[in-house]
Structure 1
């Protein structure tokens, strides 16, 4: 086990699957104690960390609810006494529909999880990190936070909002020891992508065709970027929305 983050504590929302799971495992591999957060009670990520000799806890949390998020952070401090890194990753794709056909319910739910959820996470994470004087927050946006996608108005709006929120927080805390960045994944092979494609090869090929590199990304490739942004190697980087997208937005 590497010790880049020895004695540090990392919190990962949406940690049960996909990018969240890969990032939780990556933090653990580098020696961090990990708080795995999800609204689904699934301890597979937790068990994988423990099986590899790491230390972790699982916290059930709906990030769209303030009481849940506040409790999530309090449980982190109660378990480990500190919070050094947060990857605010929990998100949903919402229903597919054109802007005029998007329902109020779908818009509110998608914004509630993807955008309000990240704001709530930062709202309760930042005061704890400030007490230590140093820490890093990475928020999960998307290439859909950098360009538009027809048929996903709520999702695109939420992911654009995440970037704006990230830049604002980065400016507010730049001199107070907290760096805040966003990662913008391209087409990544995750359970969310499986839902979008129905795991059908034809649909998967259409998404793969959007990537200049000719393939989908792997969750571990996003995890590597997140962990790097949290490291001292990225100490002069804040307020960045970094595309990890196989060239998607370069087109």
Structure 2
């Protein structure tokens, strides 16, 4: 039997994203901005797409030596988003990675959900992810360079959270997990790796808004996982770096739970 191949001595170099452009939706704030910061430190060029007219001041702090540009777009506008992603490819000379992180949620009892609440969640969290992945994948196929695509799902697609009332959001994240598995099968032939990440309860601006209004929920949120605390956004960056790197070259069609063990 032939000896199994081993990595060369410079194993950690495979984590480098130097010169590779990663598109991040929802990257103007929250988890998306944290991902942008983390991947920029690994050498990636970052193209952030967000609905806000101007980037946050924190975006300007990306000073790690790469190229970082901000683009305004609504991920639910199929044609508008497509034009922006085409422009990104032109501006950067191609696209290697895509992280579909733009998302919203409505926190209210199921019986109080309105058709508009459902539409908002499905439009941004499902259609927005679908559109983003499709546009980026088309660029990657045209380039014939392969690439890595990650959609941000949620632990809510595995377990109903005790501290939230997010039926429409949960439905949207189940949908993301479902169609990304199918997309992974179809795009693998182009050497485009597709995976999802399902975060647990994370300390985001949206969560803080809930806690400001309902401080009594803090023990419920913290108690959702074995570590008995709320996760920090940067604790997701290791998984995103792995999935964007060459070390994940045989990782396709998987959902990675990063939740402090709450399932």
Range class of TM-score, shorter chain? over 0.9
Question: Which entry has the higher C-alpha Rg, 1 or 2?
Answer: 2
1:110-160 superposed Cα distances (whole Å, 9 cap, x missing partner): 100001100010121111011233100000000012223462111000000
- Root-mean-square deviation (Å): 1.7
Distance 1:199 1:78 in 2: 44
Among residues 118, 132, 141, which one is paired with 1:121 in the alignment? 132
Q: Which residue of 1 aligns with 2:5?
A: none
> Size of the alignment, in residue pairs?
246
Among residues 66, 69, 87, which one is paired with 1:75 in the alignment? 87
Distance 1:46 1:187 in 2: 24
Q: Which residue of 2 aligns with 1:87?
A: 99
Answer yes or no: is the 8 Å Cα contact 1:16–1:44 preserved in 2: no
Among residues 23, 32, 38, which one is paired with 1:11 in the alignment? 23
What SS does the aligned partner of 1:10 have? Answer: strand
How many Å apart are 1:72 and its aligned residue?
2.2
What SS does the aligned partner of 2:231 have? Answer: coil
> In the alignment, does 2:252 pair up with 1:238?
yes
Among residues 174, 182, 188, which one is paired with 1:174 in the alignment? 188
* Structure 1 unmatched runs, 5+: none
What SS does the aligned partner of 1:174 have? Answer: helix
> In the alignment, does 2:147 pair up with 1:135?
yes
Deviates more, 1:67-76 or 1:121-130: 67-76
Distance 1:44 1:146 in 2: 35
How many Å apart are 1:201 and its aligned residue?
4.2
> In the alignment, does 2:55 pair up with 1:42?
yes
1:30-52 superposed Cα distances (whole Å, 9 cap, x missing partner): 11110011112324243111x34
Answer yes or no: is the 8 Å Cα contact 2:86–2:139 preserved in 1: no
TM value normalised by structure 1: 0.92
Distance 1:4 1:45 in 2: 23
Answer yes or no: is the 8 Å Cα contact 2:196–2:254 preserved in 1: yes
How many Å apart are 1:199 and its aligned residue?
6.4
Among residues 30, 41, 65, which one is paired with 2:42 in the alignment? 30
